[in-house]
Structure 1
């Protein structure tokens, strides 16, 4: 179970907008993709959520863009669980340019655990809490990213 999941990928031409850099929507798509992958790696793939009739939904996104990303650049995208409340869990993300380690964007999504039948928020059960360790140490996050460079 990875505490910090780091993915490495190349920005495709299709991700570029009229301004010549990565479109904001792409960042959100990549964030959702890595969150799903991290959940699976922690033992909670989509099929398991369906079995227990639960799901995570997004309440909010916050993204701070620091530098632009361009087609053909190799990026590292890291994600980790930053906390766990009764019904919610903030997940953080960092986009880093692989060649020089510069941070391009930092983001956070507030996920709400819900009953899939009613769509209403539900208490996060112990088996879900135990599967997702909370990471708060900056050194752990930095080390995980550096290991993929």
Structure 2
């Protein structure tokens, strides 16, 4: 699996709040969006292409403001599983500086049984 997935986002007017910077809720949306994009990009290489991820826990730290017209580089990668939980980092960079740092915990849901699927600690290495 390509452990690091990244994309650029150009900050537009719809991303800006009344304080004239990227709205904090927008970052939360991007965290989920890039995780889904990354999974869609690699799921066909796994034993779980039909299963779905659900967000369990989310931590985010805002370090610097980003403004209209800025370009953000978003990077995400999974970390070593913690039992049934799959940690994922999402980092936002503007002008090569980390501006937002996020750590989320996800669980994989078996699409047929609707139950949590426990993955082996080495499942990322098998891809």
Judge same fold: TM > 0.5, yes or no: yes
Compute the TM-score of the two structures, normalised by the length of structure 1.
0.73
- In the other structure, the counterpart of 1:4 is 4
Aligned-partner Cα distance in 2 for 1:89–1:96: 23
How many angstroms does 1:126 deviate by? 8.9
Q: Given the two structures, how large is their TM-score scaled by the length of structure 2?
A: 0.84
Structure 1 counterpart of 2:65, from 65, 68, 80:
68
1:27-82 per-position Cα deviation (integer Å, ceiling 9, x unaligned) = 1111111111211222349xx32xxxx32111111000000111110010000011
* Counterpart position of 1:93: 90
Q: Could you say which residue in structure 1 is the equivalent of 2:108? A: 113
* CA RMSD between the two structures: 2.3
8 A contact 2:81–2:121 mirrored in 1: no
Match of 1:25? Answer: 25
Report matched runs for 1:115-130 at 5 Å: 115-124=110-119, 129=124, 130=126
Aligned residues: 124
Q: Which residue of 2 aligns with 1:13?
A: 13
Gaps of 5+ in 2: none
- CA–CA distance in 1 between the matches of 2:68 and 2:96? 17
| Structure 2: distance between partners of 1:44 and 1:96 | 29
- Structure with greater helix share of residues: 1
Q: Is the 8 A contact 2:57 2:106 kept in 1?
A: yes
Q: Deviations over 1:95-131 (max 9, x none)?
A: 000xx31110100110011223453322127996433
